[in-house]
Structure 1
Amino acid sequence: MLLSDQAGRAAAPKIPRPATLRESVIEAIQELIVSGQLKPGQHLVESELAELLGVSRQPVREALQQLSGEGWVDLHPGQGAFVHVPTVEEADQLLAVRALLETESARLAAQHADEEGVRRLRVLCERGIAAVRSDDVDAAVATNSELHALVTGLSGNKVLSELASQVARRVRWYHTPVARQRGMASWEEHTALIDAIERGDQDRAAQIMREHTEHTRASYMERRENEPVEPAPKPVRRRRPRTPAAG
Structure 2
Amino acid sequence: MTTLSAGADSSADSPGVRHVKRPQPLRESVYEALTEMIIDGTLERGRHLVEVELAGMLGVSRQPVREALQRLNNEGWVDLRPGFGAMVHVPAEDEVDQLLAARAALESESARLAARHASKDAVAQLKELCKVGTAFQEAGDIDGAVRTNGELHAMITAMSGNRFLVDFAGQVDRRVRWYYTPVAPVRGAASWREHARLVKAIGDGDEDKAAQIMREHTEHTRTAYHELQSGQTPAAALPEKKPTTRRRRTTD
TM-score normalised over the length of structure 1: 0.84
Shift of 1:19: 3.0
3-state SS of paired residue (1:226): coil
Match of 1:94 among 81, 84, 99: 99
- Give 1 or 2 for the bigger CA radius of gyration: 1
Aligned: 1:178 with 2:183: yes
3-state SS of paired residue (2:80): strand
| Deviations 1:79-124, CA, capped at 9 Å, x for gaps | 1100001000100000000000000000000001101111111111
Match of 1:225 among 205, 213, 230: 230
Between the aligned partners of 1:45 and 1:22, the Cα distance in structure 2 is 16
2:110 alignment partner in structure 1:
105
Instruction: Kindly provide the amino acid, as one letter, of the partner of residue 123 in structure 2.
Output: V
Match of 1:132 among 119, 130, 137: 137
3-state SS of paired residue (1:152): helix
1:72 alignment partner in structure 2:
77
- The share of aligned pairs that are identical, in percent, is 61
Uncovered stretches (5+) of structure 2, i.e. residues with no partner = 1-22, 233-252
1:187 alignment partner in structure 2:
192
Structure 1 moving runs of 4+ over 4 Å: none
Instruction: Kindly provide the amino acid, as one letter, of the partner of residue 67 in structure 2.
Output: E
Shift of 1:185: 0.3
Which protein, 1 or 2, shows the higher relative CO under an 8 Å CA cutoff with sep ≥ 6? 1
Provide the aligned C-alpha RMSD in A.
0.9
Instruction: Give the paired residue count.
Output: 210
Between the aligned partners of 2:93 and 2:224, the Cα distance in structure 1 is 12
1:201 alignment partner in structure 2:
206
2:51 alignment partner in structure 1:
46
Q: How does 1:157-172 map to 2 (within 5 A)?
A: 157-172=162-177
Aligned: 1:33 with 2:38: yes
Uncovered stretches (5+) of structure 1, i.e. residues with no partner = 1-17, 228-247
Aligned: 1:85 with 2:90: yes
TM-score normalised over the length of structure 2: 0.82
Instruction: Kindly provide the amino acid, as one letter, of the partner of residue 68 in structure 2.
Output: A
2:160 alignment partner in structure 1:
155
Instruction: Kindly provide the amino acid, as one letter, of the partner of residue 176 in structure 2.
Output: V
Between the aligned partners of 1:100 and 1:168, the Cα distance in structure 2 is 14
